[in-house]
Amino acid sequence: MKNRRSSVTPVFYISLAIAFVFILWGAIFPANVESVLGTINDFISNKFGWVYLLAMTGFVVFALYLIISPYGKIRLGKQDEKPQYSYFTWFSFLFTAGMGVGLVFYGVNEPLTHFHNPPVTEGGTALAQQEALQYTLFHWGLHPWAVYAVVGLALAYFNFRHNAPLLMSSALSPLIGDRSKGWMGTTVDVIAVFGTIFGIATSLGLGATQITAGLSYSFDAIENNLFTQMIVVIIITIAFIASAATGVNKGIRYLSMSNVVIAIALMIFVFIFGSSITMIESFMTNTGNYLQNIVSMTFNMNSFVGDRGFLNDWTLFYWAWWIGWAAFVGSFIARVSRGRTIREFIIGVMGVPVLFSAIWFAVFGVAGIESDNILGGGLYSLIETQGNEVALFAFLENYPAAPLIMGIAILLIASFFVTSADSGTFVLSMLTTGGSLNPPLKIKLVWGAILAGTAMVLLLSGGLSALEMAMLIAAFPFTFIVIMLAISLYKALRSEHGIIQLEKQQLIFESDYREETEKELAEKREAFEETLPDEQPPEIEAESNEEK
């Protein structure tokens, strides 16, 4: 295998050029950007929405199959290797990278919006509340975490078990061979970087608007305007660049654990001062409805009844969003999952976050709808007039010690903001330095500045919606890359499992059997090794098992 030093690759320069052109376009011609991208996005949603639905379904089925398959015992690393991080730290990484900031942003907003505009039933009714919570959990449940699991597992398997670079292109070697090192591999990695840039920049834009809304709600002297949003972006950028300089085991790790603790504390506060019994019953009922109707919701294209607008604006939007985010989240999850078995990885990535999401939306969804009913629809009216970013703070304003709790909520959002950007700069640096697990600080600083600049320029030009559409469009080709990753992973697992089984049989049976199968085993090993990437990741260093 060829070992390389950590350095920027062509992917870095190509990705920079694409990002620069798009930012320039958005800054000079924001209306044109929204018009062009809106047309493309509508075309994909209306003509190829079924591709997203079938692909996401396939990812869920494939991930669940791996749990019960004989491949589940294979470890991401040496077979006797221990996990690098404890369960709490690992789950904190998953939660923060996967959707932490999204849960805070949409926790009240989405169930309340669905309550007033459900896909099938009449809005504002008890059935509408049930449908609202059910579809919210559907959008944040197994499907997003399945695509994260597929991408993350493919990268972790080839990197930690077979010492390949942590790159999408390298993970496709069993499927496309040496073309993974040529133009095809570069294209795959550029698409992954493109989705990551615009996904993180969109998150930064949303985070800045919500933090500004919270500050404006808490302090009369602070206005909710573009200037304040820019100041917030600059402050947070300084914070996440400082965090990025400390690496995964310090900055991201401690911030992730803090995020989980604060989020759980906020949820418990709302649970205690809200309708606790209703929330518990809602959690149980909603979980049952979700599991009972997951198949029909998964395949529902609103061909006969229901609102096609709901499908395009919510379900297909989310499916594209999760696929677009999978490059970033999958890469980061892979980086922190060394030492886990495949079964443990899938159960951890899909099980725990989905359970937490179900509890989160049961608490905030029920509380938000109840507050809106008490106010005679006032909370939803406020969202319609002032934007989605005010939902959480308008909701918390009605609770005891509102200024303190709103301050904690702002702190939580800012912390998620920093962690997401920090994780994003790490992943972008890794993807553009040949898969280095310890990318240079200067590359992190470059990507940090680009992410902040992208968010600021598009906020300035009013092009945040165009940025979202750009990421959704980028998600369409990446859908096929994830499908290829799943096929490549399955092909490699099947080959390696056959070798492992034959090796076990040689240990059990007599020497005559070992002699008879020695040639077969050698041929299988040789054929398998030929399909693996022939390059090592740059700067291979011993992983520290500093936390158990």
Tens of pLDDT, residue by residue over 28-38, are 777 777 788 78
Res 309 pLDDT > 70: yes
Average pLDDT estimate for 238-259: 73
Q: Which among 530, 279, 258 has a CA at the least distance from the CA of 419?
A: 258
pLDDT, tens digit, for every residue of 209-237? Answer: 778 888 887 777 788 787 888 888 888 88
**pLDDT recorded at residue 548:** 45
Amino acid symbol at 403? P
Residues in the chain, total: 548
Cβ(436)–Cβ(7) under 8 Å? no
Asked if pLDDT for residue 268 goes beyond 80, the answer is yes
The number of C-alpha atoms within 13 Å of 2 and in the hemisphere containing its C-beta is 8
62 to 69, 161, 296: CA distances (angstroms): 10, 20, 18
Q: Which of 40-49, 110-119, 255-264, 460-469 has the lowest mean pLDDT?
A: 460-469
pLDDT computed for residue 1 by the predictor: 47
pTM of model > 0.85: yes
For residue 341, name the pLDDT band (cuts at 50, 70, 90): very high
Q: Point out which residues pair with 75 in neighbouring strands.
A: 341
Q: Is the pLDDT of residue 190 over 70?
A: yes
Distances 286 to 106, 117, 294, 509 between C-alpha atoms, Å: 17, 18, 11, 53
Residues 6+ apart with CB under 8 A from 422: 240, 243, 244, 251, 252, 255
d(CA 78, CA 149): 20
3-class secondary-structure state, position 75: strand
Tell me phi and psi for residue 332, to 5 degrees: -70, -40
Average pLDDT over residues 346-369: 93
Phi, psi of 193 (to 5 degrees): -65, -40
What 3-state DSSP class applies to 263?
Answer: helix
Both tokens of 115, joined, read 């309550």
| pLDDT band (50, 70, 90) for residue 208 | confident
CB distance 487 to 464 below 8 Å: no
In this predicted structure, what is the pLDDT of residue 543? 41
Given a cut of 80, whether residue 249 has pLDDT beyond it is no
Percent of the chain clearing pLDDT 70 (strictly above): 89
Mean pLDDT rounded to a whole number for the chain:
83
Above 50 in pLDDT, residue 108?
yes
**Cβ atoms within 10 Å, residue 171:** 32
- Whether the predicted pLDDT of 547 surpasses 50: no
